[in-house]
Structure 1
Amino acid sequence: MSDATPDRASDSHRVDALRLLVDLGWRFLDTADALALRGGTRETILRPRLVDVLQTRRFDYRGQPHPLSPGGIDQIVREVQALNLVEGLLPANERLHRLLTLGVTVTEFMPDGRTHRPTVALVDWERPDANRWDVTGELQVLSAHGTHHRTADVVGYVNGLPLVVIGTPRPDAGQDGRSGLDEVVRRQLRDQRHDGIPGLFACAQLLLALGDGDARYGTTGTAFESWARWREEASDDVPSAQDRLPTALLRPERLLEFLRLFVLFDREAGKVVARPAQFFGVRALLARIRQRRPDGAREGGVVRHAAGSGRRLAMMFAARALLLHPSTQACRVLVVTDRLDLEDRLAHRAVDGDAAGAYGGKPRPGSGRALALRIGAGTERLVFASFRSLAAATKRPECRNP
């Protein structure tokens, strides 16, 4: 495989994006090498890369680490490749995201004659360097109908999975007076359609559009008007917005954090990725909660929201982060609201978005006694309640979770 950086060509925007990702720690993969690893333009996954990573995975059995068997690796690869687009692009994309965040459970036959079902992570979320970071350009993909090819300008692979797709303007963009960046976003949306290359976007988790000195980001299914700009909270010495967005989101450690904690699937909004205010607000919340008082209790605080800042989604991102972050994985989360309609919407949004579904969460309890039982004896990691039901629950002896 090639470790060289891309040579400057007629499409300078694409080359600049590739060079920037190489500077951020990604490994440049020549287009021809990427095609060889894919095994043809119909495939989008780098299967040999994924297999190489899985061969390094270990699972615990009776206190001893064991490697995955070839059969176990094949199970995982088949699971990843079996994304069914018949039900639509978003359901397939959600399935892949669940595999990423929750892992894949396989059946292993152990030397003592027993079977064991470990859950294997596709991505090492805690150690960015333990993953394979490849970036390639001009990725030709056969259309879903098999009649033509479409080209993705830049694709970022993590462990052989195409998780990032970047669009850049064509060399002749803007000659008709229209924004080159707008054209990039429209092209990304066109490629997601059933007659485009939806197979690539079934895997992709973060989409970027770069050009005209500007940049926007979205995800699979993001409407044109919802593609957003990024603003880093800390002072930033990167002068161009076109470089600022990938520098902020595509650093390996930042990308892993973003994809794990700041992606939701919602019944109303579809797939949603966090805006900057939501991202940095939840990070500040996590940092505050990790602090301990002298008596061992966790610190608290207040997050203030401006009108229209996406408060409900921010609450769901916070709940998801609390459930998944290593420092709070042992905690249960009780979300209390002041309105029944908001409580209902958040509870159902959590189930839809899998912030609760994978952890046994259910819609809100119907009474103070039911809530007291859920708090005191329940096993759900995420529970929703109103102030009224919580006030009633705390008066009952069952409401105690030592």
Structure 2
Amino acid sequence: MNARGDYSEDGMIQKDAAAILGELGWSSVHAQAETEDRPHLTGRSNFTETVLTPDLRAALERLNPGLPEEAYRQAIDQATTHDHAKTLVAINQDKYELLRNGALVRFKDGAGRAVERRLRLVDFVDPDNNSFKAVRELWVRGRNYLRRADLVGFVNGLPLVFVELKRFDVDYHDAYKKNYRDYRGTDESGKQVAIEGSIEQLFHWNQFVVFSNGHIARYASITATSEHHYQWKRLDEDDPEPGKSTMQLPLLLRGMMDRARLLDIIENFILFDASEGALAKIVARNHQYLGVNRVIARLQSDDDKVKAELATGQLGVFWHTQGSGKSYSIVFLSEKIRRRVSAGYTFVVVTDRSELDGQIAGTYTHCGRAHAKDDQAQSGANLRAMLRDSNRSYVFTLIQKYRERVTEPYSERDDIIVISDEAHRSQYGRLALNMRKGLPNAKFIGFTGTPLIEAAEGNPPAKPAQ
């Protein structure tokens, strides 16, 4: 990307951003010349459309071949329509479920039998099986306004990434305050309020937004206020911290819009959390993405030394600084393992305080991934019964419920992962020994921001996961 002195015009940043995406395997379309009566460059029938229907139709046929016309029509209808009574974030959640899990369609096969099937909109495993298109200067007409977005990233015709760019000498935050807020619909505080955006339909499918002046670059979810705009700092866990003069936009684009990484982020690193009453969309931060994938790489490693460590239960330690989203990291990790490694895993989340137990169980519950009422152990006997249930996905418990002496294993399964939330000294004494005796083949990982585990206790920590 150009040196900072070359960033005199928005278009130059756009051009360089599109060039980087081209290196990453994206095609590029400059759509400024489109007119409302002939939006031929994007294949739309008019400017109100934000889904590139020809691209979506081609993807549906490619990913779900040999189906009747009715099946494809239903999937396209679900992609291009929405419930007008719902808020933008609720619509966005609906579209996310379609994107991640497919569109449920019903049709009759050649023998006249009723068939129900989910059609894939995206291939999350093979990036080459999808269409990635960066459209610059995209005209979009809302109910009362015509606007032009700087750059929109489409995957199989779906507008998944919105990028707003400014000149180098303009505060990147202006992209958020003066453009995005108008398009998206928020008040001057940036808070989630019932104000219609000028082109709100552009964000029905959005997975994250990017604001940049080339030097500074931040990303966020559609519900995030400015204090939750984040920098993508590293491509790899072992990369050095970027310097103050580092151009952040190229790093963010390579870190988040590399095709395989983008699909991974969308599939496994997005949550919708109702903990605070209003629904919030959560996109993983850089350290969460790298740390979770590092743990999973260790879990699936073919290295003999790592396999030997795993055989003794050592999955690792995941270090977190305070306020950096530890609970979400735990959810991201367990959910990706269940979706991408094996749905047969059971996760036992252990804390040492009722407050923490309720907090982590509540996070899972409000994100729709577990149910605190059913998945929290109420007693030692209840815990033992839950651990013997091979069909259970999650168990939340206090370490104190392992106080009874173990005479025989609760379960000898090797697809149990014990997550110690706020791992510290109390979990390396008698109670922890009972837990390991009860689950002799389980794998253990600690999540902590307080490295209090000392070799003097005779229990040195496993190799850190992050």
Correspondences of 1:321-336 after superposition (within 5 Å): 321-325=336-340, 327-336=341-350
Aligned partner of 2:421 in structure 1 is: none
CA contact (8 A) 2:151 2:163 kept: yes
Give the Å deviation of 1:246. Answer: 0.7
Aligned partner of 1:375 in structure 2 is: 387
Deviation per CA, 1:361-387, whole angstroms, max 9, x where unpaired? 955243333333333236342332222
Letter in 2 for 1:108: F
Q: Are residues 1:286 and 2:296 paired? A: yes
Aligned partner of 2:100 in structure 1 is: 101
CA distance in 1, matches of 2:239, 2:410: 49
* Residues 1:272 and 1:36: Cα distance change in structure 2 (over 3 Å): closer
Aligned partner of 1:127 in structure 2 is: 126
Deviation per CA, 1:117-149, whole angstroms, max 9, x where unpaired? 222221111100000111101112122xx1111
CA contact (8 A) 1:372 1:394 kept: no
Give the Å deviation of 1:29. Answer: 2.4
Correspondences of 1:4-83 after superposition (within 5 Å): 11-31=11-31, 32=34, 36-58=42-64, 67-83=66-82
Aligned partner of 2:441 in structure 1 is: none
Deviates more, 1:30-39 or 1:277-286: 30-39
Aligned partner of 1:386 in structure 2 is: 398
Give the Å deviation of 1:401. Answer: 5.5
CA contact (8 A) 2:13 2:214 kept: no
Count of paired positions:
377
Deviation per CA, 1:165-184, whole angstroms, max 9, x where unpaired? 10001x6x85xxxx430101
Secondary structure in 2 aligned to 1:259? Answer: helix
Secondary structure in 2 aligned to 1:42? Answer: coil
Q: Are residues 1:276 and 2:283 paired? A: no
Deviates more, 1:193-202 or 1:33-42: 33-42
* Residues 1:395 and 1:78: Cα distance change in structure 2 (over 3 Å): farther
* Residues 1:190 and 1:365: Cα distance change in structure 2 (over 3 Å): farther
* Residues 1:167 and 1:110: Cα distance change in structure 2 (over 3 Å): same
Q: 1:253 aligns with which of 237, 260, 272?
A: 260
CA distance in 2, matches of 1:155, 1:362: 42
CA distance in 1, matches of 2:80, 2:383: 42
Letter in 2 for 1:45: V
CA distance in 2, matches of 1:111, 1:161: 31
* Residues 1:167 and 1:299: Cα distance change in structure 2 (over 3 Å): same
Secondary structure in 1 aligned to 2:307? Answer: coil
**Where in structure 1 are there 5+ consecutive unaligned residues?**
1-7, 59-65
CA distance in 2, matches of 1:246, 1:304: 26
Letter in 1 for 2:171: G
Deviation per CA, 1:53-90, whole angstroms, max 9, x where unpaired? 111224xxxxxxx6222111112112222333532111
Give the Å deviation of 1:215. Answer: 0.7
Q: 1:366 aligns with which of 349, 362, 378?
A: 378
CA contact (8 A) 1:35 1:41 kept: no
CA contact (8 A) 1:369 1:393 kept: no
CA contact (8 A) 2:138 2:150 kept: yes
Deviation per CA, 1:292-312, whole angstroms, max 9, x where unpaired? 635984751111222222211
Letter in 1 for 2:380: G
Letter in 2 for 1:44: T
Letter in 2 for 1:235: D
Give the Å deviation of 1:156. Answer: 0.5
Give the Å deviation of 1:226. Answer: 1.2
CA contact (8 A) 1:393 1:399 kept: no
CA contact (8 A) 2:138 2:152 kept: yes
CA contact (8 A) 1:29 1:135 kept: yes
Correspondences of 1:210-229 after superposition (within 5 Å): 210-229=212-231
| TM-score scaled by length of structure 2 | 0.73
Aligned partner of 1:312 in structure 2 is: 327
CA distance in 2, matches of 1:115, 1:239: 58
Deviates more, 1:125-134 or 1:300-309: 300-309
Secondary structure in 2 aligned to 1:123? Answer: coil
Secondary structure in 2 aligned to 1:140? Answer: strand
CA distance in 2, matches of 1:99, 1:394: 46
CA distance in 2, matches of 1:188, 1:107: 38
* Residues 1:400 and 1:107: Cα distance change in structure 2 (over 3 Å): farther
CA distance in 2, matches of 1:391, 1:264: 35
Secondary structure in 2 aligned to 1:354? Answer: coil
Correspondences of 1:139-218 after superposition (within 5 Å): 139-143=138-142, 146-169=143-166, 174=169, 179-186=170-177, 187-193=179-185, 194-218=196-220
CA contact (8 A) 1:54 1:122 kept: yes
Secondary structure in 1 aligned to 2:337? Answer: helix
Deviation per CA, 1:321-370, whole angstroms, max 9, x where unpaired? 22222x2333232222222222222223223323348xx99552433333
Secondary structure in 2 aligned to 1:217? Answer: strand
Give the Å deviation of 1:51. Answer: 0.8
Secondary structure in 2 aligned to 1:54? Answer: helix
Aligned partner of 1:111 in structure 2 is: 110
CA distance in 1, matches of 2:54, 2:257: 23
